[in-house]
Structure 1
Amino acid sequence: MRIVIRLFFKLLRRILMPFMLIYAAVSKPKPIQREACEQAEVDQQCRALTLYQYSTCPFCIKVKKEIHRLALPIGLANVLKDQQARSELEQQGGKVQVPCLKIVADDGNTQWLYESDAIKQYLQQRFAA
Structure 2
Amino acid sequence: MFIIRWILGRIILLLNFVFSPKKLKREASAQATIDAQTKSLQLYQYQACPFCVKVRRDIRRNGLNIAIVDAKNEQNKQQLASLGGKVQVPCLRIEEGENITWMYESSAISEYLNKRFA
Give the CA deviation at 1:17: 2.4
Structure 1 residue corresponding to 2:10, chosen from 14, 18, 25: 18
Number of residue pairs the alignment of both structures matches: 118
RMSD: 0.9
Unpaired runs of 5+ residues, structure 2, are: none
Q: Confirm or deny that 1:77 pairs with 2:66.
A: no
Report the TM-score, using the length of structure 1 for normalisation: 0.88
Show the 5 A alignment for 1:97-108: 97-105=88-96, 107-108=97-98
Unpaired runs of 5+ residues, structure 1, are: 1-7
Residue aligning to 1:5: none
Distance in 2 separating the partners of 1:95 and 1:27: 32
Distance in 2 separating the partners of 1:44 and 1:124: 17
Q: Confirm or deny that 1:91 pairs with 2:89.
A: no
Which runs of 4 or more aligned residues in structure 1 lie more than 4 Å from their structure 2 counterparts after TM superposition? none
Q: Confirm or deny that 1:111 pairs with 2:73.
A: no
Distance in 2 separating the partners of 1:108 and 1:26: 40
Once the two structures are superposed, what CA deviation does each residue of 1:10-58 show, in whole Å capped at 9, x if it has no partner? 1211222221111121121111111111100101111100000011000
Q: Confirm or deny that 1:60 pairs with 2:63.
A: no
Once the two structures are superposed, what CA deviation does each residue of 1:38-89 show, in whole Å capped at 9, x if it has no partner? 1001011111000000110000000000000001010011111x21111111
